[in-house]
């Protein structure tokens, strides 16, 4: 049996033991894991050095090395994250519905763990801690398959986690880390129906698309974000500039940042100089439509391909539209249905936009950068779902649960 299948089977065999632990038992294990990360800081840093050394030899890019690199500060942050998860409310066991049927059947719908969750991610050791913590809190076993460039760090983190689980009296086999760094181990995971209940990919769009296209295990698609902000004719200038610049430039590398700014022709007619100035100050390169370039000649010409690109960088497409409908048509064509925003003082327009634009999160007069589990008050999140099944938008702990009907009778049979 391959390593992946063997570890998935171990996780599945041990998952039931995790499913009915009390919140106290799970929180105890989470706090033990947080402590283990702190006391094991030296060992983690040593393993991380091995990863970094290997990365440098392989010519890994500086930005990838930066995401891979750990410091004692970052490890403290990871431990703090686990303590925060321990402090969140446990969704498992919650009664969602009770039904009393005329024949006397009493039906209870309860939240239960999903079972075994597969996480496929890139070379970011913090995801190992995050995912392990969120799955533990929700009573799920987990099979982790991180990027091979972080393997030494991940092995060390998993060892510390295992010791913490055992010290808390839980079976360590509910957390499994795949060591096999061959791409084929990912593809094998994608087909483990019956052992894995769901796979959640975390990373760039090529990873996510590979998982979505090839998995037969159910997938929760996360992350891709081509987000728009539309400045309506009646938008307040100061608010519009503040929201648009924040959506683009506060942290361009993340999925909820803006890629295309749509501007009503009347707003553009009055304020295009200020728009250009604001983005220039923020260090953002503009790519504009024909009408934009008449008003801002320094902008490059935007292409259809640009409208379909998630830059994750200080680059912004700008398009002037005739009206709200044209803005919504553009969004319908290019949006990845993540986060979309209208800035307007017109209540009728904001209502239409919020109702009709098809996205996980739609905004009126606020930056798209708020699409985030912490900002919504959910605490840590496993990702932001951009699909429509099971969970949509920031996924709090309930997104890592399933449900079960318990039916209590007194001999009822069907006639």
Give the binding site for a second copy (CB under 8 A). 16, 19-20, 99, 101, 105, 107, 114-115, 193, 197-198, 212-216, 218-221, 236, 239, 242-243, 246, 250, 332, 350, 354-356, 358-367, 369-371, 375-377, 387-390, 392-393, 402-414
Shortest Cβ 111–a second copy spacing (Å): 11
Q: In this complex, which beta carbon is closest to a second copy, that of residue 39 or of residue 103? A: 103
Shortest Å distance, C-beta 239 to a second copy: 4
- Tell whether the torsion through CA atoms of 111, 383, 221 and 358 is positive or negative: positive
Q: Which is nearer to a second copy, 78 or 341 (CB)?
A: 341
What is the spatial distance between Cα 408 and Cα 140, in angstroms, rounded to a whole number?
Answer: 26
Closer residue to a second copy, CB minimum distance, 79 or 316? 316
Beta carbon of residue 274, minimum distance to a second copy (angstroms, whole number)? 16
Gyration radius of the chain over CA positions = 24
Cβ 392 to a second copy shortest distance, Å: 5
- Using the minimum distance from each CB to a second copy, give the nearer residue, 23 or 60: 23
Kindly state the smallest distance separating residue 336's Cβ from a second copy, in Å. Answer: 10
Q: Inter-axis angle of helices 41-57 and 151-167, to 10 degrees?
A: 160
From the CB of 402, what's the least distance to a second copy, in Å?
4
Q: Is 250 exposed, middle or buried (0-12, 13-18, 19+ CB in 10 A)?
A: middle
d(CA 261, CA 288): 9
Task: Indicate the pairing of strand 285-288 with strand 300-301.
Answer: parallel
Which residue number, 20 or 80, has a Cβ lying nearer to a second copy?
20
Dist CA 263 CA 214 (whole Å): 39
Alpha carbons within 13 A on the beta-carbon side of 115: 17
Measured from the CB atom, the residue of 245 and 268 that comes closer to a second copy is 245
CB of 397 to a second copy, least distance (A): 14
Q: How far is CA 68 from the centre of its chain?
A: 18
d(CA 278, CA 70): 35
The owner of tokens 């096999």 is 180
181 versus 412: smaller Cβ distance to a second copy = 412
Tell me the C-alpha to C-alpha distance, in Å, between residue 118 and each of 161, 176, 192, 201.
Answer: 17, 10, 10, 8
Q: Nearest approach, Cβ of 188 to a second copy (angstroms)?
A: 14
H/E element holding 65? helix 62-68
CA dist 260 and 230 (Å) reads: 9
Q: Which is nearer to a second copy, 18 or 150 (CB)?
A: 18
Q: How far does CA 315 lie from the centroid of its chain?
A: 23
């Amino acid at each position: 049996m391959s390593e992946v299948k063997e570890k998935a089977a171990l996780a599945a065999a041990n998952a039931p033991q995790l499913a009915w632990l009390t919140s106290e038992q799970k929180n105890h294990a989470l706090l033990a894991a947080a402590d283990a990360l702190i006391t094991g800081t030296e060992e983690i840093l040593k393993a991380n050095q091995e990863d970094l050394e290997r990365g440098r030899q392989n010519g890994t890019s500086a930005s990838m090395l930066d995401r891979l690199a750990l410091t004692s500060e970052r490890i403290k942050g990871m431990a703090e994250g686990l303590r925060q998860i321990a402090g969140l409310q446990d969704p498992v066991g919650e009664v969602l519905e009770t039904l009393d049927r005329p024949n006397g059947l009493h039906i209870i719908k309860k939240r239960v763990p999903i079972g075994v969750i597969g996480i496929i991610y890139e070379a970011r050791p913090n995801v190992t801690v995050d995912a392990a913590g969120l799955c533990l809190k929700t009573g799920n076993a987990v099979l982790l398959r991180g990027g091979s460039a972080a393997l030494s760090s991940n092995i060390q983190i998993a060892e510390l986690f295992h010791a913490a689980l055992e010290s808390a009296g839980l079976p360590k086999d509910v957390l499994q880390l795949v060591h096999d760094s061959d791409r084929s181990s990912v593809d094998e995971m994608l087909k483990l129906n019956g052992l894995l209940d769901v796979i959640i990919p975390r990373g760039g769009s090529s990873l996510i698309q590979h998982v979505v296209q090839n998995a037969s295990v159910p997938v929760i698609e996360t992350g891709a974000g081509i987000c728009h902000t539309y400045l309506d004719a009646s938008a307040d200038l100061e608010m519009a500039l503040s929201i648009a610049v924040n959506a683009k430039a506060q942290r361009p590398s993340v999925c909820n940042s803006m890629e295309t700014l749509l501007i009503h022709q009347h707003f553009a007619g009055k304020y295009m100089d200020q728009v250009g100035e604001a983005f220039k100050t923020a260090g953002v390169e503009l790519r504009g439509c024909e009408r934009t370039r008449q008003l801002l000649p320094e902008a490059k010409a935007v292409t259809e391909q640009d409208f379909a690109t998630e830059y994750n960088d200080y680059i912004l497409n700008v398009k002037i539209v005739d009206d709200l409908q044209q803005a919504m048509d553009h969004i319908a064509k290019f949006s990845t249905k993540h986060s979309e925003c209208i800035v307007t003082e017109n209540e009728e327009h904001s209502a239409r936009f919020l109702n009709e634009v098809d996205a996980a999160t739609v905004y009126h007069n606020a930056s798209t950068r708020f699409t985030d589990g912490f900002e919504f008050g959910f605490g840590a999140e496993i990702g932001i779902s951009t699909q429509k099944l099971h969970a949509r938008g920031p996924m709090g702990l309930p997104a890592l649960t399933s449900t079960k009907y318990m039916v209590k009778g007194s001999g009822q049979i069907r006639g």
